[in-house]
Amino acid sequence: MKYGRRGNKASWAVSVRGLLALLFFVSVFGGLGRCEAQTNKQTPSDGSEIDVRMAELEGASFTPIPITYSATATLPPKNSIDKKLWRIAVIGVGSFPFTLFYTNFIFDSVRFAAHSFDVQYAPWPFKTQYSAAVSTSETFLRLGVSAGMGVIIGIIDAVIQRR
């Protein structure tokens, strides 16, 4: 039987796909060992300590004892004021591009309506090379409004967050 170039590539792709599927099933169903909650030494509720490796050697029907956690140990530590301020700054800076986009669109739309819907003042998607330019003072006003909205969004996030 002769295989063309296409047949060789297809059979190679099928064999690679099969190899990846086999690797996935081996790693998921048997090759990984213990989960991270299982340690070498575990303490059941009666206070005695069991060595997991020794118990595995003793019988085939060994079931590891799950580790129980207290409610206070799972609570996150209280955030300090520095972490809250850092989060406000990061959220504010991260939201700045979005607030700038929407601020520019709103300012352009208001300017378009204020000039009786003149085509020279059309908002961004409809601007052309003949559109009216934005003044420097209006550009700084737009940047200031966008930065202020970013800070407000950061503060709202800090108030809303649960931690």
3-state secondary structure the chain: CCCCHHHHHHHHHHHHHHHHHHHHHHHHHCCCCCCCCCCCEECCCCCCCEEHHHHHHHCCCCCCCCCCCCHHHHCCCCCCHHHHHHHHHHHHHHHHHHHHHHHHHHHHHHHHHHCCCCHHHCCHHHCCCCCCCCCHHHHHHHHHHHHHHHHHHHHHHHHHCCC
Q: Read off the pLDDT of each residue in 6-31 and give the average, rounded to a whole number.
A: 62
Instruction: Please state, for a pLDDT cut of 70, what percent of the chain lies above it.
Output: 55
Domain boundaries, the chain: 1-33, 34-73, 81-160
The pLDDT score that the predictor gives to residue 9 is: 55
**pLDDT tens track for 57-115:** 455 555 667 767 666 665 666 667 778 888 889 999 999 999 999 999 999 999 999 99
Is pLDDT at 7 greater than 60 in this prediction? no
The pLDDT score that the predictor gives to residue 72 is: 64
The tally of CA atoms less than 13 A away on the side-chain side of residue 107 is 19
